[in-house]
Chains A and B, each alone.
Chain A
Amino acid sequence: MNKRKIALGPGAASVILIVVCLSLAMLAMLMIIGSRNDYNLCSRSATMIERVFELSAHSEKRLAELDAVLASCRKEAGDQESYLALVGKNLPADMSLEKDLVTWTEPLDNRNLECIVRLLPPGEKNRTEWVSHKLIVDEPEEDWEW
């Protein structure tokens, strides 16, 4: 009768331990790297979105400033031309008037929120209307972090 004898030689258990532990350590390391990258990416996206929304909120405050000027100019001016001339004189800082468009930018690192509003003529119910409200990235594509 052929009886096969399975023998565990000295040191075999240690070798198995080393192999299993190394495999588990490798797996844990890969999991940690992956999850940390996911977490960092999410955190950075969240921070950037927060800053963009704060920028947008700031642009609304600037619009409120401009609207206060427009409201007082409408009371004083009679026609569209004198109204625009008066607005041009009293425009809040960092804003520019071209024809009936008021432009300003809200800076954020290498991005700019470009804001353009149209001034509506006296007699209209509203004083302004948004024309453009967009975020422009000033960074060349080669410098983007991937």
Chain B
Amino acid sequence: MKSGSRANALLVELLIVIFFFMLASMILVQLFADAKIKTVTARATNSAMLETQNLAEDLYAAEDPESFLTGMGFTGGEGEWTLTRNDYVLHVIPSAEKTAAGTLRTWQISATRNENVLITLPSTRYLPEEEVSP
């Protein structure tokens, strides 16, 4: 009789322990998942940051930006150029603004991940019009 009640008490204790363990693990798994998502996003932002900076500098210096982008593997043209990487997608939007003595050529480079913008950099270069000799 005594040993039976002891076994029952142990069983009840185990059940309570399992219940609390499940409860705790449910919360902890969520915390681990959040931490993992943040780490992956940080890694993607870091890579995107380096790549967009390089791209901005290269586009600034490029004599023929369109063929440079094609060579890099970008697809599209005219309105928007796109390149898909493992962790993010790069978008390049060209624009030009006529000024009094030249043209301001701008490339808006952005990196997105799951439709969230990680970074956006403008690469602007002023191209003066050449003077016509009298």
Contacts and interface: CB of A to CB of B under 8 A. Distances in A.
A38 interface: yes
Interface of A: 8, 10-11, 13-14, 16-17, 20-21, 24-25, 28-29, 31-32, 34-36, 38-39, 41-43, 45-46, 49-50, 53-54, 56-57, 60-61, 63-65, 67-68, 70-71, 74, 125-128
B122 A53 contact: yes
Given A31-B32, A67-B102, A71-B100, 17 more contacts: A8-B10, A10-B13, A21-B20, A28-B28, A34-B35, A35-B38, A36-B38, A38-B39, A46-B118, A50-B119, A50-B121, A56-B124, A61-B104, A64-B104, A64-B126, A67-B101, A74-B131
Contacts, number: 126
Contacts of A14: 13, 16-17
Contact of B126 (A21, A41, A67): A67
Nearest to A17: B17
B102 A31 contact: no
Contacts of A38: 38-39, 42-43
B24 A21 contact: yes
Please report whether the interface of chain A is mostly helix, strand, loop or mixed according to DSSP: helix
Given A53-B122, A57-B124, A70 B101 contact: yes
9 contacts: A14-B13, A25-B24, A29-B31, A31-B31, A38-B43, A50-B120, A57-B123, A61-B104, A126-B130
A134 to B, nearest CB: 15
B24 A68 contact: no
B73 interface: no
A61 B124 contact: yes
A14 B9 CA distance: 13
Interface residues of B, number: 46
A58 to B, nearest CB: 8
Contact of A13 (B17, B43, B122, B125): B17
Contacts of A41: 42
A19 B14 CA distance: 15
Interface string B32-53: 1011101101110110010001
A127 B128 contact: yes
Interface string B104-134: 1010000000000011111111101111000
A85 to B, nearest CB: 20
